[in-house]
Amino acid sequence: MSAPIELYYWPTPNGWKVSIALEEMGLPYELKPVNIGTGEQFEPGFLKISPNNRMPAVIDPDGPGGQPISIFESGAILQYLGRKSGQFYPEDPRQRAEVEQWLFWQMGGLGPMAGQAHHFRSYAPRIEPDESKLEYGKTRYTNEVNRLYGVLERALSDGRDHIAGDYSIADMAIWPWILPEGQGQNLDDFPGLKAWVERVGDRPAVKAGRAVGKELRGNLGEDTEEMKKARSVLFGQTAKV
């Protein structure tokens, strides 16, 4: 048996994408927590794996040609795991294009916009007490997430059970980012999306992947000294060369 895949991880939506995929595909893996609240993502060893100082990342000891390979960026990891396992990433060119367009839509749209909405609504008020300085960002990103939820609603209202036809890495990428409470949304306004969220969330592997490392995550909304330091690490980053 080959050595397990090393998963460099913290329990966030981007981390959940990969833990869900590994659970769904039945690939053995070893958890390597990267505490993003204490700055472990800036350690030199992790930088060699993930030059963007972001998790998740993976090292597969049994990569192409039997040689180790490291991969950063959650979307690229999902594609790699799909190819490696032969699951949830169709080989048919048309079907693969359908999956990829939704995967890239999540990476370039839903993830960044939802993350900003959550930041301005939940974290920024703890950092900037003058709410008037936050209102534009809060409104801008909340509205954009609403638009993106609408994109999913239209796609899921044509009788599809899943976003790109059959269940795929596109569903695994998108599902962890549907966090309506923190993004100022009401899922009752999006019945097709709500049903899909419940349908995907009922999968045993999704439940298992979502639960990975749940004991590691604190509450960045708290005002303890530890959480203030964590917010400073997460939201005060500048270029490091």
User: Number of structural domains, the chain?
Assistant: 2
Residue 163 belongs to domain with CATH number = 1.20.1050.10
- 114 with 41, same domain: the answer is no
- Whether the per-residue pLDDT at 125 is higher than 90: the answer is no
In a domain, 100, yes or no: yes
Q: Among candidates 104, 105, 106, 95, which has minimal Cα distance to 166?
A: 95
How many percent of the chain have pLDDT more than 90? 78
**76-85, 94-103, 167-176, 217-226, range with the lowest pLDDT:** 217-226
Quick one: pLDDT at residue 122?
Answer: 86
In a domain, 232, yes or no: no
Residue 17 belongs to domain with CATH number = 3.40.30.10
Query: How many other C-beta atoms lie within 10 A of the C-beta of residue 58?
Result: 27
Of the residues 87, 119, 143, which one is the last residue of a structural domain?
87
pTM: 0.90
Summarize pLDDT for 44-101 with one digit per residue, the tens.
999 999 999 999 999 999 999 999 999 999 999 999 999 999 999 999 999 999 999 9
List all residues 6 or more positions away from 136 whose beta carbon is below 8 Å from its beta carbon.
none
Q: For residue 12, with 0-12 CB atoms within 10 Å meaning exposed, 13-18 middle and 19 or more buried, which class applies?
A: middle
- 83 with 173, same domain: the answer is no
- 137 with 191, same domain: the answer is yes
Quick one: pLDDT at residue 129?
Answer: 77
Of the residues 67, 87, 107, which one is the last residue of a structural domain?
87
- The range of the structural domain enclosing residue 74 comes to 5-87
In a domain, 169, yes or no: yes
- 105 with 51, same domain: the answer is no
- 53 with 122, same domain: the answer is no
Quick one: pLDDT at residue 106?
Answer: 98
- 60 with 35, same domain: the answer is yes
Quick one: pLDDT at residue 231?
Answer: 45
- Whether the per-residue pLDDT at 241 is higher than 80: the answer is no
Q: How far is CA 130 from CA 63, 110, 239, in A?
A: 50, 27, 27
Q: What does pLDDT average to over the chain?
A: 90
Q: What does the pLDDT average to over 24-38?
A: 94
Q: What does the pLDDT average to over 93-114?
A: 98
**32-41, 104-113, 126-135, 187-196, range with the lowest pLDDT:** 126-135
- 55 with 130, same domain: the answer is no
CB 69 within 8 A of CB 7: no
